[in-house]
Amino acid sequence: MTESERILTGIGVSPGIAVGRAHVLSVSLPVVPHRVVPKDQVEAEVERLRRAVGEVREHLEALRDRAAQRAGPREAKIFDAQIMMLEDSDFLGAVEKLIRENQLSAERAFEFKSLEMRALWSASSRLRERLPDLSAVQLRVLHHLLGQPVEEVPRMADGEPVILFTRELTPGLTVQFDREHIAGFASEEGTRTSHAAILAHSLGIPCVMGLVGSLERVRSGMPVILDGAHGLVILEPTAEEIKSAQAYERRRLALERELERAVDAAAVTADGVRLRLLSNVDTPEDVELAVSHGAEGVGLLRTEFLVLGRASMPDEEEQASYFAEVGRRFGDKPVVIRSYDLGGDKFPLEEGRFLEANPFLGWRALRVCLDRPDVFKPQIRAMLRARAEANIQLMIPLVTQVEEVARTREMIAEAADELAREGKRAASELPLGVMIETPAAVMLADQLAEASEFLSVGTNDLTQYTLVVDRGNARLAGRFTPHHPSILRMLKLVLEAGKRRGREPSVCGEMASDPLSAFLLIGLGYRVLSVAPLKLPLVRWLVRQVDAGSAERAASSALEASTAADVREILEKAIGEFVDLKVLEAGRLPRAKRESSLSR
């Protein structure tokens, strides 16, 4: 094996180092023999199918209970979804029809319809990710009908750690293990958001997915190192590699313990500067995570999930109850709701879907909302209604003109009048914030601050529009960096413009969730950061390690740098005085804290 063949790269979906022996699990499709069912026995055959489905249901329920107990209620829902797939009446109806009309055996009919369904799901970008769930369910039914045992589950032999390699890791397989049984998972397929990845993360088992072609190179019994933070697998490692992997793991575990302690601590720097750490919330699942990780409010509540993958827009009622529910969860702390940011990288409305030569420069975000009061008004009304019970605020994305703020204000006033006339319980005003995510907004930050109640910098789009780099283009990923000196200067401009108008601008782009960049933002003078919920402990811990004074000195010299590489070097040198850079990226969610929060 050459040096490059020894190292496999994939996607790290659950951090941690595992050193042990590989066990390759090949889950192959069972061979289904052809068998014609005599006419007078088709009903008994249908009955046999139903029995198998019932038994698989019981098995899935047991897995669900196990997941609830070991990972949490959110993870248990994965198996509820599998039960729904199993009992899909259209699907089962079609299988029964095949048995009755074509006299096929239950297994043959089931296999036939399963293949059809898999082909359908494979063609849909939305459903493709759930294919492992579907295969797990279908394979289990098939094995049941054929009277064959399902996966053979390897256990740790003689205390020697086992790292399981499969083509596709299913949630059912993942949840059967804990760290005493299995040291790590590796699979050829799967992504960070697949259900098995979420489960491995919750169970605290290191996992790497997307290791294309790995099964050709790995043999059962082969010694391996799996690095779940960096998405690496090293085959037949040297003693030196094992030693350094183990040392890294010790540092990582120490950081994990520190993060756990930081969850309830105040975000105050070592030299006494207080920061406010808010959370970004993308979906309802993020709400509990944000609360349990100590968010001091929501700095960016994305509302696109309400629309994506749906045939029609959600109505005012649905939005009002979601906004009020999130608002209540945060008591009197602010919950900043961003109006729909559709188009560009998010699917446009079904009805507005048309080809644009440059969608990122096109009809999107606030532009859609202002042109379509039938879309924007119900959202504003929902926010006003929720504000009657909680500290709800509105923030508008992709602003390039001061008039857009004025027009939004008019719409808020119109909506408030309507609600008052209708006698509905609602607030009469709504604090309005502007996202600074275009160079135009940066240059007008003083006027936008004047026209609104608050500013928040969306560094993802600001980087994209300033550097003219599509944020989703993998080929340009190396060019997409908020450490570009132009972005630093813009961040400084916005902060100063806001402060001159008595505002305290925040940052809600991904930059705030990255420790090195958070250090830079503190140095630039930002005191309010809105962070991805799972990154809150890491950022809070970081804040507590560093000196704001030192961050300020680093930021000043970074502002003079001429390249992003120089900026990084300055930041790494400065932050290196306070924290071990090597382990920073491995900072994972403290597991115990997460479990307790989810089972609340």
Catalog residues that contact ligand PEP under the rule CB under 6 A. 300, 302, 341, 437, 458-461, 508-509
Q: How far is the CB of 385 from ligand PEP (least distance, A)?
A: 24
Which two tokens mark 542? Answer: 């970081």
- CA distance between the termini of the chain: 50
Quote the CA–CA distance of 32 and 10 in Å, as a whole number.
Answer: 34
**Cβ-based neighbours of 188, under 8 Å, separated by 6 or more:** 166, 167, 168, 210, 211, 212, 213, 214, 215
Residue nearer to ligand PEP on the CB measure, 203 or 448:
448
Q: How far is the CB of 287 from Mg ion (least distance, A)?
A: 20
Determine the Cα–Cα distance for residues 66 and 445; give it in Å rounded to an integer: 52
Task: Report the partner that residue 521 touches, choosing among Mg ion, ligand PEP, none (CB closer than 5 to 8 A by kind).
Answer: none
Q: How far is the CB of 469 from ligand PEP (least distance, A)?
A: 13
293 included as an active-site residue: no
188 binds, among ligand PEP, Mg ion, none (CB under 5 to 8 A by kind): none
Nearer to Mg ion, 187 or 408 (CB): 408
- Which of the residues 201, 369, 484, 508 is marked catalytic? 508
Query: Quick one: angle between helices 284-292 and 591-598, nearest 10?
Result: 120
Q: Residue 224 or 281: which CB sits closer to ligand PEP?
A: 281
Place of tokens 């300020």: 552
Catalytic, 369? Answer: no
By the 10 Å C-beta count (0-12 exposed, 13-18 middle, 19+ buried), 563 is classed as exposed
Closest CB to ligand PEP among residues 258, 437: 437
Count of residues for the chain? Answer: 600
Shorter beta-carbon distance to Mg ion: residue 491 or 575: 491
184 binds, among ligand PEP, Mg ion, none (CB under 5 to 8 A by kind): none
Decide which of Mg ion, ligand PEP, none touches 486; Cβ closer than 5 to 8 Å per partner kind. none
Q: CB-wise, 286 or 341, nearer to ligand PEP?
A: 341
288 binds, among ligand PEP, Mg ion, none (CB under 5 to 8 A by kind): none
Q: How far is the CB of 466 from ligand PEP (least distance, A)?
A: 12
- Residue 473, classified by CB atoms within 10 Å of its CB into exposed (0-12), middle (13-18) or buried (19+), is exposed
- Provide the binding-site residues for Mg ion, judged by CB under 5 A: 437, 458, 461
Task: Indicate the residue whose CB is closest to ligand PEP.
Answer: 458
Query: Minimal distance in Å, beta carbon 151 to Mg ion?
Result: 43
Q: Of the two residues 233 and 457, which places its CB atom closer to Mg ion in the complex?
A: 457
Alpha-carbon Rg for the chain, nearest whole angstrom, is: 27
Q: Which does 161 bind (CB under 5 to 8 A by kind): ligand PEP, Mg ion, none?
A: none
Rounded to a whole number of angstroms, the minimum distance from the CB of residue 480 to ligand PEP is 12
When CB distances are held under 5 to 8 angstroms depending on the partner's kind, the choice from Mg ion, ligand PEP, none that residue 459 binds is ligand PEP
Q: By Cβ distance, which residue is nearest to Mg ion? A: 461
Please enumerate, as own/partner, the contacts of 143-152 that have beta carbons within 8 Å and a separation of 24 or more.
Answer: 143/30, 144/52, 144/55, 144/56, 145/48, 145/49, 145/52, 145/106, 145/107, 145/110, 146/30, 146/32, 146/107, 148/30, 151/25, 151/27, 152/25
Residues 6+ apart with CB under 8 A from 166: 24, 25, 26, 27, 173, 185, 186, 187, 188
Residues 343 and 333: their CA atoms lie apart, in Å, by 30
3-state secondary structure of 269: coil
Compute the least distance from the CB of residue 401 to ligand PEP, in Å. 18
Burial 289-317 (b: 16+ CB within 10 A, else e): bbbbbbbbbbbbbbbebbbeeeeebbebe
What are the tokens at 477?
A: 């990923």
Out of 23, 144, 195, 293, which one is annotated catalytic?
195
Which residues form the catalytic set? 195, 508
